Amino acid sequence: MLRVGAVTACVGIFLAGADFAVTALIGNQTARQLGELSSVALRRSEAAIDSAGVILNRLAIAGGMDCGENALQALRLHVYQGTIIKDIRTVDRDGSVACAAYPETLEFDNGWARRDQMFTSADGQLRLFQVEQFTGAAFGVLRDIDAQRSLAAILRIDGNLLDVMPVGLRAESHVTLTLPDGEQVAGYHPDASAKPPAQTLAFSTTSDRYPLQATIHVRPQSLSARHDMAYLLTMLAAGMLGGVFGLLLASYLNRPVDPVAELDRALAGNEFKPYLQPIFSLRTGDVVGCEMLARWEKPDGRLVPPMSFIPLAESSGRIEKLTWQLLSTALRELQPEMRRDKLFKLSVNITPRHLLGDSFIDDLRQVVASSSVSTRQVVLEVTEREELPDLDKATDVVKQLGEFGFRVALDDVGIGHSGLSYIQRLGARTLKIDKFFVDAITRDQSAVVVVQMLVALARELDMSLVAEGIEHQAQVDALIACGVEEGQGYLVSPPLSLPRFKQFLEVRHAVTGAAQIKQPELAA
């Protein structure tokens, strides 16, 4: 792993350096090119305004726009033959329209800009504004005739003018034309419904004649030179050099790592964290407890599942220290909830070897006592997957635990080493039905029979039952029909870290409280 890590790190460093160098070389060139393209878009827009200004100026010199039908007909022909102007209107100083080349376009207007909302050109001859229409924003140019009347042209500035991007960047860019207040009066993208993404690079050019700014918004990744052959060759060479350097470095650093020493380091660093999965009532959904599970949170953020370290912890004798460390943390963090709800129980997995240890009971009592939690709220789950080496001693330990108030549960019932005599002799107070039977209960009648037998056995021995691995409501219904009362599984929640589990409980309490308040109101 060290050799792989060293090589990977060196290759990454060399590639990052090469990428930075190549990017730095082409960055200025790309910015200059896109800046020039935004200038092209702006010049096209200025030309459109110039064209409209010429027409409005010609009409103003002639005394304005004659609202007679013949004059409007001639004007409509003029507008129709053009490519820039969609409509020309005579407007009063307050913005009311006296007449329009195409009166039907007035139906699209949702409002008209006031003069104080318009922006004046550098020579003072024209005013630019935005017209809100239900089909979208339109761009207008206004030219005064006299102190009372003005001419307004509604322009057609669209993709024909703003489509300036090369083919390779067209789909990854947006071109916009905006007024000084930031309002967009025109824009272009091949997909007309698309909007500029949140993260873009912007290249803008501002007009020195009109209050306009053309901006090209480009996705940063679209400017990458990664598809350029020179870039690829450079990165290939950098990767090879990094790999060679990494191998040389690894030859000095590569030493075997002792996995047991790694466990000791993790224990000393409190890297093992308790994760909690709720145990709930099948009928009401109320959370009645939780099972504590171990997770290894590495300093780099990786989460190591229990099967990757629990067997080593057991075989190396570290499981006892690991268990007490996790249990202490869980009891300390859950103490407020356990003291608020005296029926809330925390279950912890105990290996048979740990259960039969000479100081197990004393150590357990000390850990629980330090948390000020009742012993009746702690459940010890002994797995059936591993055979108890000394059943007589185990029976005696379970008896002593019961005398101190602890409850013992037999985990993975139905697939392990135990038989009926084993369950009866051990004296456990809870049976946990293995996920194997829960998975099959909705499709295999034999699984239903097994669960019904376990329910009958639990009632005969005055034991409680918990079903594990519940993922679907159909399984809940089948378990209830068999007589099972409690369960756990992803249907309600996966194992959660302590902070997330406490948030989960807060939400459940809030929902339950709201339901209790609402129920009397409904009765009334």
Q: How is the chain split into domains, by residue range?
A: 2-189+198-221, 259-511
Quick check: 144 pLDDT over 50?
Answer: yes
Burial class (CB in 10 A: 0-12, 13-18, 19+), 63: exposed
CB atoms within 10 A of CB 182: 7
* CB burial readout 124-141, b (16+ within 10 A) else e: eebbbbbbebeeeebbbb
**How far from 16 is each of 234, 241, 416, CA to CA, in Å?**
11, 12, 53
Quick check: 203 pLDDT over 80?
Answer: yes
Out of 124-128, 221-225, 301-305, 341-345, pick the least confident. 221-225
C-alpha radius of gyration, the chain, whole number = 38
Distance of CA 176 to the CA centre of its chain: 30
Name, in order, each residue with C-beta under 8 angstroms of 431's C-beta and a sequence gap of 6 or more: 409, 410, 413, 423, 454, 457, 458, 463, 464, 465, 466
Quick check: 219 pLDDT over 70?
Answer: yes
Out of 163-172, 223-232, 324-333, pick the least confident. 223-232
Q: Which of 417, 474, 422, 409 is nearest to 448 (CA)?
A: 474
Instruction: Provide mean pLDDT across the span 43-54.
Output: 88
CATH class of 2-189+198-221: alpha beta
The pLDDT of residue 91 is: 86
Number of helices followed by number of strands (H, E) in the chain: 16, 20
Q: Classify residue 317 by its DSSP letter.
A: T
Quick check: 224 pLDDT over 80?
Answer: no
Is 35 or 113 the better-scoring residue by pLDDT? 35
Instruction: Specify whether the CB–CB gap between 371 and 335 falls below 8 A.
Output: yes
Residue spans of beta strands (DSSP E) within 157-305: 173-178, 184-188, 201-206, 213-218, 272-281, 287-297, 303-304
Out of 307-316, 483-492, 505-514, pick the least confident. 505-514
Q: Which residue has the tokens 């030219």?
A: 143
The pLDDT of residue 253 is: 55
Quick check: 524 pLDDT over 50?
Answer: no
Out of 254-263, 357-366, 426-435, 508-517, pick the least confident. 508-517
The pLDDT of residue 22 is: 64
Q: Which CATH number fits domain 259-511: 3.20.20.450, 3.30.930.10, 3.40.640.10, 3.40.50.2300?
A: 3.20.20.450
Which residues are 165's β-sheet partners? none
What would the pLDDT profile of 66-97 be if each residue is shown by its tens digit?
A: 788 887 887 787 677 667 888 888 888 877 88
Out of 2-6, 49-53, 330-334, pick the least confident. 2-6
* Residue 414 three-state SS: coil
Quick check: 139 pLDDT over 80?
Answer: yes
Mean pLDDT value across the chain: 83
Q: Which of 177, 179, 198 is nearest to 189 (CA)?
A: 177
Instruction: Provide mean pLDDT across the span 496-513.
Output: 88
What would the pLDDT profile of 395-417 be if each residue is shown by its tens digit?
A: 999 999 999 999 999 887 766 55
Residue 523: which pLDDT band, with cuts at 50, 70 and 90?
very low
Quick check: 247 pLDDT over 80?
Answer: no
Residue 259: which pLDDT band, with cuts at 50, 70 and 90?
confident
Residue 466: which pLDDT band, with cuts at 50, 70 and 90?
very high
Find which of 3-7, 366-370, 384-388 is predicted with most confidence, using mean pLDDT. Answer: 366-370
The pLDDT of residue 24 is: 63
User: How far is residue 310's CA from residue 275's CA, in Å, rounded to a whole number?
Assistant: 14
Quick check: 433 pLDDT over 50?
Answer: yes
The pLDDT of residue 514 is: 61
The pLDDT of residue 283 is: 94
Dihedrals phi, psi of 273, to nearest 5 degrees: -120, 140
Structure token pair of residue 507: 């939400």
